[in-house]
Structure 1
Amino acid sequence: MASISRAYMQQIYQQFQMFATWPTQSVVNLGDVGVMKDRLFRKVSHLDDFNVRFKVEPVGPEADQNYTTSSQISVSTSIGQPPVVGITFGTEGSTYLQARNCRRESLGNLLELERSLLELYRRSEWNPEHVIITSVLRASPTIILIAGSGGGSIELSLPAGVIIDELVYPWVSGSVAIKKESGISVRHVTKHDTTPWFGASQLRRPFRKEPTLQFLSGDDESDMALETLKWDDF
C-alpha cells in the first residue's frame, strides 16, 4: 500500500501542485497543525489551541475536476439494458478521479500569522517541526479509484443516459451497480464534503548555499519565515 499511496500522491502533486490527503477519506481543515512524514499529514492540534487568530480568504468560484492517468487507463462502454461501463487500470497506482463543486479555501494575511508563530517560537511554545494547513480544496461529491495491481478493473451498470464524465452523480445516489471488480485498492465514493488535496506551510529557515553565523547562546529566530512546502522539501 505504501507504493500505491506514494504513486497517487505524486500524481496529484504533479497535476495540481498540492499534497494529496491519505487515506483518501481523510479530511483536513484550514488552521490544522500537525507533522508531515513521507508527505503524509497527521494532525496534532489546531491554531485555535495556540490562541492564534487567522483570516480566511473569500472562497473562489466552484469548478469541477477530472483526473486520470490517461496513458494507463482505458474506459469502454457497452450499450445495453442497462448500459455497462468498464474501467481498466494498466499499472499499480493508476488513478481515476472525479471531484465536483470544488472550492479552494486559503488562509489570509500570512504575514500576521508568521508574526504570531514567531512569538510562540520565541517563548518555546511552537515546535518548528509542525506544519500548518494553509489551503484546501473542498469538493462534493467525489469518486477516487486507485488500482492495486496492473490489470485492475471495474465494471459498472449505469442508468440510461448517464455520461461517463458525470459518473459521480448517479454513483453517490446509489443508482450505479458494481458488476465486477478486480485489483482495485481504493474505491472512495462519497456525496459528503472531502478535501482531496491541500497546501501546507512551515516556520523554517530558508535554504542557503552559503554558511551563516550560528549563535552559541541558542537558536536565532530572526531568519525564520513561514514558507510554503513543496514536494522536494521531503
Structure 2
Amino acid sequence: MTGSLLKAYWRESRTSFSRLPVWLPGTVMELGDIGVLGEGGWTKATDLGALGIPVTRRGEGAAADYDYSSGAEVSLTTRVSGQLPDAAGAPVSGGGGLVVDFRRSGAFILKSHAVRVHRIDNLDAVEKAVIALHTRLRWNPDWVIVTEVARGGPSITVISKEAGAQSVLDLGLAVTGAGVDLAAARTGMRFSHRSRDAWASVTTEESTVLWRGRYVNEGWFGRTTVRERGEDGPAGPAPAWSTPPSLPRSADGGPYLADVEDLDEILPL
C-alpha cells in the first residue's frame, strides 16, 4: 500500500469510526500490545504485562456489525447465484456475492460481523507507569501502546488505488439478493476477481479490525497529562533513546501519553 493511499485510508477511518485501521487485516494486534508501525506494518515489541504494568479491561459491550463504505464514491452490487463474474467476466457456476466499484482513489469498504470493543480501563495508572519507564530511559520513543481494539469477523476490506477500480467477492454460498450475510459466509469466501487498481482482503476468523493507541510525546506546553494530540498547543519532538530529558519533569510540562491521530506523528512517510 502506497504512502498516500495509506494516509487517505487512515484519515477516513479515524473520521468515520474514531478509531484507526489495522495496517493489514488479519494482523495480530491485542489489547496492551506495544509495538512499532513501519513500512512493513505493525511489529509487536513487547506488551504492558511483560514490562510489569498491570492492565485491567473494560467490559466488551454488545456485538455490532460494521458496514461502511465511502458514500457515493463506492457502488456495491449484490449478485445472486450464477450471476457473479470471474476474472474473465464469465459467470461463476453457483457463485453469488458482491461486486464493488470505486469512483476515486482511496475510497474503501469495511464489513465485519459481530464486532466487540475492548478497552484498557486503568489508563491513568498505565500512563504513570509508562512515564516512569520513559524517565528511566527504559521506554523506546517509537513504541505505541494498543489501548483499544475492535474485534470481529468474518471481515472484508477493499481499498481503491485508482478511480474505476473493481473487486468481485465470491461469498461461497447462494445469495438471494437480500444482502450480504457475513455470518453465513464464514468458509469459502474469496475474491474471484480483483483489478490491479484495488487492494482487498478477506479474513474469515475473528480478528482486530480497528484500534486506538497512545505514544509518549515530549511536551513543552501544558500539564503533564493524557490528552488528545494538539489539544493545548504544540509538542516537542520525542527524546532520543539514549539521551536523558534536558528539562526537569514537573507539573507544568514534560512527557505525556498522546492518542495517535495523524499517521505522521508515528511514521514519517
Listed one character per residue, the Cα deviations across residues 92-124 of structure 1 (whole Å, up to 9, x for unaligned) are 222122111101111111111122112222322
Q: How does 1:187-198 map to 2 (within 5 A)?
A: 187-198=200-211
Q: CA deviation at 1:153?
A: 1.6
Aligned residues with identical type, % of pairs: 23
* Structure-2 change in CA distance of 1:224 and 1:140 (3 Å): same
AA at the equivalent of 1:163 = A
8 Å CA contact 1:149, 1:183 repeated in 2 = no
Listed one character per residue, the Cα deviations across residues 66-104 of structure 1 (whole Å, up to 9, x for unaligned) are 11112111123456x534443211222221221111011
Question: Structure 1: how far apart are the matches of 2:66 and 2:142?
Answer: 32
Aligned residue in 1 for 2:48 = 47
Aligned residue in 1 for 2:187 = 173
| Structure 2 gap segments, 5+ residues each | 85-97, 222-232, 236-243
* Structure-2 change in CA distance of 1:104 and 1:177 (3 Å): closer
Aligned residue in 1 for 2:100 = 87
Q: How does 1:84-163 map to 2 (within 5 A)?
A: 84=84, 85-156=98-169, 159-163=174-178
Q: CA deviation at 1:138?
A: 0.6
Deviates more, 1:23-32 or 1:184-193: 184-193
Q: How does 1:28-43 map to 2 (within 5 A)?
A: 28-36=29-37, 41-43=42-44
Give the number of the structure whose residues are more often helix, by fraction. 1
* Structure-2 change in CA distance of 1:150 and 1:37 (3 Å): same
Question: Structure 1: how far apart are the matches of 2:42 and 2:192?
Answer: 35
Deviates more, 1:40-49 or 1:108-117: 40-49
Question: Structure 1: how far apart are the matches of 2:191 and 2:21?
Answer: 26
Q: How many residues align?
A: 227
* Structure-2 change in CA distance of 1:202 and 1:210 (3 Å): closer
Instruction: Pick one of 210, 224, 227 that aligns with 2:255.
Output: 224
Give the number of the structure whose residues are more often strand, by fraction. 1
Question: Structure 2: how far apart are the matches of 1:113 and 1:66?
Answer: 33
Q: CA RMSD in A?
A: 3.0
8 Å CA contact 1:72, 1:89 repeated in 2 = yes
Question: Structure 2: how far apart are the matches of 1:200 and 1:178?
Answer: 31
Q: What TM-score do the two structures reach when normalised by structure 2?
A: 0.72
Question: Structure 2: how far apart are the matches of 1:160 and 1:233?
Answer: 42
AA at the equivalent of 1:221 = R
4+ aligned runs moved over 6 Å, structure 1? none
Q: CA deviation at 1:18?
A: 1.3
Deviates more, 1:179-188 or 1:127-136: 179-188
Aligned residue in 2 for 1:27 = 28
Question: Structure 2: how far apart are the matches of 1:91 and 1:29?
Answer: 32
AA at the equivalent of 1:13 = R
8 Å CA contact 1:118, 1:221 repeated in 2 = no
Question: Structure 2: how far apart are the matches of 1:227 and 1:179?
Answer: 42
Aligned residue in 2 for 1:164 = 179
Question: Structure 1: how far apart are the matches of 2:217 and 2:203?
Answer: 37
SS at match of 1:164: coil
8 Å CA contact 2:99, 2:166 repeated in 1 = yes
* Structure-2 change in CA distance of 1:218 and 1:194 (3 Å): same
Deviates more, 1:10-19 or 1:69-78: 69-78
Question: Structure 1: how far apart are the matches of 2:134 and 2:27?
Answer: 29
SS at match of 2:50: helix
8 Å CA contact 2:166, 2:198 repeated in 1 = no
Q: What TM-score do the two structures reach when normalised by structure 1?
A: 0.82
Deviates more, 1:198-207 or 1:126-135: 198-207
Question: Structure 1: how far apart are the matches of 2:109 and 2:124?
Answer: 38
